[in-house]
Structure 1
Amino acid sequence: MSATYSRITGTGSFLPPRRVSNQDLVDQLAARGLESSDDWIVERTGIRARHFVDDGINSSDLALAACRHALEAAGRRADEVDLIIVATSTPDMVFPSTAAILQHKLGVAGCPAFDVQAVCSGFVYGLTVADAMIRAGNARCALVVGAEVFSRLLDFNDRTTCVLFGDGAGAVVLEASDTPGILATDLHADGRHAGILCVPGTVQNGQVLGDPLLKMDGQAVFKLAVGVLEQAARTVLEKAGRQDSDLDWLIPHQANIRIMTGTAKKLRLPLDKLIVTVDEHGNTSAASIPLALDHAVRSGRVQRGDTVMLEGVGGGFTWGAVLLDY
């Protein structure tokens, strides 16, 4: 009996229409008595703009649009999907899961649907879970989605964090295959570092306890990120029996251009093989990797047969990588 593998057959993404430039945020900060500039933001992050949702738009709405594009690209109908995984830190509500809400909006029912919460590493986690379920014979056609409305977690009195994040969604259709697509995965977490990137609030007795806005120690995140991303990348290459030179593309979590280029250099990968969307999307957390993948596929950069490294790092502290032949 031949082995079952999983392969990405379609990608999709969606950004809310409202584009917010650095200057838009600089003006907003100035009205609060806070100083910043477009040059300051670009130099430290590589970000020039991001997209924010309007009132009444939730993660499931962004996910729905991304999934429709991915299904169309894969030539699949929603009723052919037998697994839905949504990676998000900004769910529509406490429960049910955003995946269950998305399932209903897709007009289907019956298949398992659940959320994965690993913050910016969430899509890598979700893709790994879907790959394992397909290999085990528990699914044959999965939707794996990253969807976020991070604009609702931002403290616009904190110029160091409010300029970093944006909203959006990205999705892939992952299907059972006789030939390998996903070659290797590697996931990690270290809860000792939970405090360096968090939203330390919760709901209790009808009230929000703690602080419901994002907090980040940027220097601590940076120091941890570069090291663990290189480690995860080398682990999946070793698991797959591949070398640095076999990589055609690196698609990292789009958090900060310095972290991204630092990882590429450690892997001896030319920077023209680094997929960058952070300049126009900002950090969209779990959505950033599938957004960047879809952008690279639709622009013709990533082609069938290319070897691609996906990797992410996020609050938790979580990190991981996926190596795949597209």
Structure 2
Amino acid sequence: MDTPRIRILSVGTALPGPPVDNAALARTFGMDALWEQWVDAFIGTRQRHLAVDIATGEIGDSLSGLGTAAGRRALDTAGVRPEEVDLVVMATATPEQLMPATVNVICDRLGINDVPTFQLQSGCSGAVQALDVAHQLLQTGRHRTALVIGADVLARFYDCDAKLAQLPPEQLVNYVLFGDGAGAAVLTNEPGAGRCELASVRTRLTGLDRVAGATLEWFGPVDRLSDRPAATEDYKAIERYVPEMAEETLHELLDDLDWRADEVTYLLPPQLSGVMTRRIVERLDLPQAREVSCVDETGNNANALVFFQLERVLERIAPGERALGVAIESSKWIKSGFALEGV
């Protein structure tokens, strides 16, 4: 029996609140205009959306709420009813609770029941890992329609009373890199459905003997008063390793598919920040490919980010056109990528 081809029917996304620009961050955290200029020059992300009101510290949106909104939009766009979904996979680095799994809360709100559900805990590569799991399970033919979700709420790790001028770089950078959001895609193995085939998905752990480049703690009652920071980011290590890992992933995808570089119509690059994205795009050296980026408007919202890129490319891709996406996770160094083809 031939292996089914997997199609993407739709993508839906959700962002919390109004955009928060660098000037608003500077005002809230007592930074000056020179700091704003530093963010523009070295980070390059103009704004982000946050689930927390940084002026008051009040939580405005939840992970499950954003995931539900994105999932509902994806289902509505695809014309798929909740009872037609027979597989749900979610990726997040910031689960709402340890139990119940956030994916199951979202399913309950969407009216999805009596199906296999999976929640993967991972950083930026988690979205591709979730696509990989759904892709492989749909190829077995045991399932027909999958809802794949990527979502994160990183702002709940903010200390809204922090004095940024006093923070070390590995903590300071988190306040400008990240945002919150959710994305979802409907995948199917139904022949002839949709405009876009998910031609390949690839994820690889490459962290053997490498120090973690990013950490995100989960504090419980025993250790919540620890002096360990809630989140750290080794930006220097990321600047060093992510571009080369992205290049390796790109060429591995091309080799797997036997595609030539000049056949790629769209490039969905890693989206840590605006500046890093531009550096990576230059290194990947696909001048004929149109870049699909959004980090300057959304911030790096981790597992949601790939879906914001997918949403943009799905609107554009024509029959015969090809797209490559790359996502790199620095927490324990995971390479991931995927390929799309218009049908």
- Structure 2-normalised TM-score? 0.86
Q: Following superposition of structure 1 onto structure 2, how do residues 150-189 of structure 1 map, counting pairs within 5 Å?
A: 150-154=154-158, 156=162, 157=164, 158=167, 159-178=172-191, 181-189=197-205
Q: Following superposition of structure 1 onto structure 2, how do residues 1-326 of structure 1 map, counting pairs within 5 Å?
A: 1-30=1-30, 36-54=34-52, 55=59, 57-154=61-158, 156=162, 157=164, 158=167, 159-178=172-191, 181-189=197-205, 190=207, 192-203=209-220, 205=222, 207=224, 211=228, 213-270=230-287, 273-297=290-314, 300-303=315-318, 305-314=320-329, 315-326=331-342
**Unaligned 5+ runs, structure 1:** none
**Change over 3 Å in CA distance of 1:166–1:309 after alignment to 2:** same
Q: In structure 2, give the amino acid aligned to 1:283.
A: N
91-100 vs 170-179, which deviates more?
170-179
How many angstroms apart in 2 are the aligned matches of 1:127 and 1:13?
16
In the TM superposition, residue 163 of structure 1 has moved relative to its aligned partner by 0.8
String of CA shifts for 1:279-298, please: whole Å, max 9, x gaps.
1111101111101221344x
In the TM superposition, residue 20 of structure 1 has moved relative to its aligned partner by 0.8
SS at match of 2:125: helix
CA contact (8 A) 1:201 1:208 kept: no
In the TM superposition, residue 307 of structure 1 has moved relative to its aligned partner by 1.2
205-214 vs 8-17, which deviates more?
205-214
In the TM superposition, residue 206 of structure 1 has moved relative to its aligned partner by 8.2
Aligned pair count reads 322
In the TM superposition, residue 35 of structure 1 has moved relative to its aligned partner by 7.4
SS at match of 1:63: helix
Compute the RMSD of aligned alpha carbons. 2.3
How many angstroms apart in 1 are the aligned matches of 2:60 and 2:102?
15
118-127 vs 48-57, which deviates more?
48-57
How many angstroms apart in 2 are the aligned matches of 1:194 and 1:102?
34
- Structure 1-normalised TM-score? 0.91
CA contact (8 A) 1:13 1:66 kept: yes
CA contact (8 A) 2:271 2:305 kept: yes
In the TM superposition, residue 167 of structure 1 has moved relative to its aligned partner by 0.5
265-274 vs 18-27, which deviates more?
265-274
Q: In structure 1, give the amino acid aligned to 2:10.
A: G
Q: In structure 2, give the amino acid aligned to 1:95.
A: M
How many angstroms apart in 2 are the aligned matches of 1:132 and 1:8?
14
CA contact (8 A) 1:29 1:36 kept: no
CA contact (8 A) 1:7 1:181 kept: yes
How many angstroms apart in 1 are the aligned matches of 2:157 and 2:321?
36
How many angstroms apart in 1 are the aligned matches of 2:310 and 2:333?
23
Percentage identity across paired residues of the two chains: 28
String of CA shifts for 1:267-318, please: whole Å, max 9, x gaps.
3223871112111111101111101221344xx4344543111211122222
CA contact (8 A) 1:3 1:178 kept: no
Q: In structure 2, give the amino acid aligned to 1:106.
A: L
How many angstroms apart in 2 are the aligned matches of 1:77 and 1:192?
46
**Change over 3 Å in CA distance of 1:18–1:104 after alignment to 2:** same
